[in-house]
Amino acid sequence: MHPLPYWRLSGYYFFYFAFIGAFSPYFGLYLQSLAFSAWDIGLLMSQMQLMRLVGPNLWGWLTDRFGWRLAIVRLAGGIGLAGFTAFFWLDRLAGMLLAMAVLAFFWSAALPLVETLTFDHLREERGRYSRIRLWGSIGFIVAVMATGALIDATSPLSVLWMCWSILLGILLNAMVLTEATPLAHDRAEMPIGNILRQGKVKALMAACFAMSAAHGAFYVFYSIHLDAHGYSKTEIGLLWSLGVVAEIVVFMLMASLARRFSLRDILLASFVAAVVRFVLMGWGVESAMLMIFVQLLHGLTFGAYHASAIAAVNQWFPGKTQGRGQALYSSLSFGAGGLLGALISGRTWDWLGSGWTFTLSAAFALVGVLLIWHWVPSEAPGPVSGRQKVGDPVQ
């Protein structure tokens, strides 16, 4: 029987998403403390999305061509840590843009490769994936709460120390991961062009682009939005954590939901919830109860949406095309869509204000509703078919 390195894989997910929990909610606040403008903050934070346009595809191609999976994961950990270290002495836009680009380019390499490594280790026990992936959500919650409390007690500079320590944990954990023999697949030579020409595939990719664009302002400015309306860093951390808890609950319910509803139904519910969520986020920030509701909707707008989308990709891209399908999904959604959303929100935040910026996010989600409604068939496979994966928290 193939031995499963449960704790090594779980540890990697823990640290990987702990970095997101420390970085995404609070690094914008650190940049604000350095007196960067909203446009500068949006430009800097958008490097994470920009590099996802090219990074996953390049690293995936290198892995397919040369089989350097673990070597690339370890290289990504080392250079990502080195890139982030530069933030300790940089405070000008040009230098920080370069450091952010280096960090993002190598950091984006790791997760898709670790995902394939995990499933190769799991082999026929793919149902155990959620037990490993759950540690990523736990890592996010621990980091977002600890970092918020640390900033309240000290200063925004503590974000750098927290993120640096977590990146060191990623590198150390990468060094102890073990390789697994890739699984053989049927229909491994299906031309990817035949898949990409299908209407449902094009509609799904376009909708995923729209959903990530809708989340652009959220990932860059939500903490700044809350901070400007009197929420403490600890309260901000609690709200971010609540979103991930909602995501975990949805992940646990996905198998049951998939038996009752089609993939199309779940995707439609997720996009409609996103429209509601971003309108409330923009105009209801004065109400703590509304912000709690807004974060509970994250279970739909990210948890159910991502679990469904990534499962459809797994099903519709068979055999060796799965790696390229996942890279394409990551590049178009979290890469191109997230980049557009971050840049637009950076421009509109000071110009139109927070309310209309988040309303624009809702408009992107509405485009996704229309795409799913018209072009994704109701008979499409549910989110637990094929090689199921549940998604990442707060990209």
What span, in angstroms and rounded, lies between the C-alpha atoms of 81 and 75?
A: 10
Q: What is the per-residue pLDDT across 255-282, written as a single tens digit (0 to 9) for each?
A: 788 788 888 899 999 999 999 999 999 9
Mean pLDDT of all residues in 166-180: 94
Q: What is the per-residue pLDDT across 110-147, written as a single tens digit (0 to 9) for each?
A: 887 887 788 788 776 655 666 787 899 899 999 999 99
Closest CA relative to residue 211, chosen from 17, 55, 362:
362
The pLDDT of residue 385 is above 50: no
Return the pLDDT at 62: 77
Which residues are CB-neighbours of 236 under 8 A, at least 6 positions away?
25, 148, 223, 226, 227
| Lowest pLDDT segment from 52-56, 103-107, 145-149, 224-228 | 52-56
What span, in angstroms and rounded, lies between the C-alpha atoms of 24 and 395?
A: 8
Q: What is the per-residue pLDDT across 340-380, written as a single tens digit (0 to 9) for each?
A: 999 999 999 999 999 999 999 999 999 999 999 998 887 54
CA distances from 73 to 57, 79, 170, 172, 297 (A): 14, 10, 10, 11, 33
One-letter amino acid of 148: G
Average predicted confidence (pLDDT) for the chain: 86
The pLDDT of residue 315 is above 70: yes
The residue that leads in pLDDT, 153 or 390, is: 153
The residue that leads in pLDDT, 186 or 69, is: 69
Return the pLDDT at 383: 42
Percent of the chain with pLDDT over 90: 57
Return the pLDDT at 185: 54
Give the global pTM.
Answer: 0.79
Q: What is the per-residue pLDDT across 29-47, written as a single tens digit (0 to 9) for each?
A: 999 999 999 999 999 999 9
List domains and CATH numbers for the chain.
Answer: 6-180+190-375 (1.20.1250.20)
Q: What is the dihedral of CA 338, 224, 19, 213, to 10 degrees?
A: -10
DSSP symbol at 143: H
The residue that leads in pLDDT, 154 or 394, is: 154
DSSP symbol at 157: T
Quick one: CA dihedral 50, 325, 16, 116, positive or negative? negative
Q: Which residue has the tokens 């949006």?
A: 42
